[in-house]
Amino acid sequence: MLSFFKDYKYFAIVFAILSLIIISIIYNIFDVYKPLPIYQPAMVNTEMVDSTIQYKKKYHKIADFSLINQNGETITQDSYKDKIYVADFFFTTCQTICPIMTDHMALIQKEIIDEADVMLLSHSVTPKIDSVAQLKKYAIKKGVNDSKWNLVTGDKKQIYTLARKSYLAVKTDGTGDEYDMIHTENFMLIDKKRQIRGYYDGTNPEDISRLLEDLKILKEEYK
């Protein structure tokens, strides 16, 4: 009798292992839906997060905002209500990573042009330089579609607070001079609940491809 149970025990172990292997194969074959993570401050590199919220593990959302776009229009959180969007931080006179980032945003714009619930949002980190007129000139040069992509300027403190406390995307809080933000290449994927669902290197073509794939995954949540 003991021998029977001993043999059965080994059979059960082998059966369990085989079952896991089969389930894993089926999972990959049928590409089972895997939801994107919801990023919280505690999950992000502390250099990118204001010290007052580094401990936060849930309920993080993009704060309300009021900024001005390339057409002199006021853009708020309501402009992105029920929208998925990609956000970044840039400035028009940047000669290093910004041109690459903007070109990649333009590529994303091309891919989402017919998707009514997807938009783009680029925040200037040098708002005194990036006036409405300057943003408009830059928008025309870069092929910005006004219905899909807002380039925004406005109060410097608000922009830097958004960067540090909402998007968790830059390395300083903007307490010094006009150029004190350590500007990063981050693109952020934001869902319809104003939650961060992905971070991407805006200068890396492979990351842009990953962002577009993640966008498809995120859209599945709303079907």
- Binding-site positions for Cu cation: 94, 98, 183
Q: How many distinct helices (H) and strands (E) make up the chain?
A: 5, 7
Residue 115 near residue 78 (C-beta atoms within 8 A): no
Which residues neighbour 219 within 8 Å (Cβ) at sequence distance 6 or greater? 84, 115, 117, 118
* Whole-number Å distance between alpha carbons of 92 and 209: 24
Structure tokens, 192:
């319809």
Task: List residues forming the annotated binding site.
Answer: 94, 98, 183
* Whole-number Å distance between alpha carbons of 220 and 50: 32
Phi, psi for 63 (deg, rounded to 5): -70, 165
Most distant CA pair in the chain: distance in Å?
Answer: 88
* Whole-number Å distance between alpha carbons of 147 and 128: 25
